[in-house]
Structure 1
């Protein structure tokens, strides 16, 4: 009569337990977070544009933003490009 391999059986048992635990985590803990994110994803594109944010904010994902690009300001210094001392 053949014996059941202990180590492979133990590894498979632990893998099955981990998959069940991850499935329960997805169902009980992650599902409300995912539904809130999907509701935000559906609502944000219809909201009016906002000023371009300086810092990242998760509430602004998939929200339209507007930014104004100003032309570069050029400052000419006296003696620029010439060798010597410039104050």
Structure 2
């Protein structure tokens, strides 16, 4: 069950292009280029902050709560991320129970 959840988290992260945030700090440029080439099919036209918010919403209520907590820490995040995550405070569609 834990493996399935991990695979879901990774697949959502890849679908929304969250790996780009990690690849920007990759230890080797070669690895970053290889992964970008393998994942060429994604549409990354939306801003990174919006992609992060959508990914957290797709992953469920625990991740939304994490985003809500992060949005209050403007000293830790860039302004664009904090502003977008602030939308998780009151603009989240309801989750099925």
TM-score by length of 1: 0.20
Relative to its length, the structure with more strand (as a share) is: 1
- Rg bigger for which structure? 1
Relative to its length, the structure with more helix (as a share) is: 2
Specify which structure has the bigger relative contact order, considering alpha-carbon pairs within 8 angstroms and separated by 6 or more residues. 2
TM-score by length of 2: 0.18
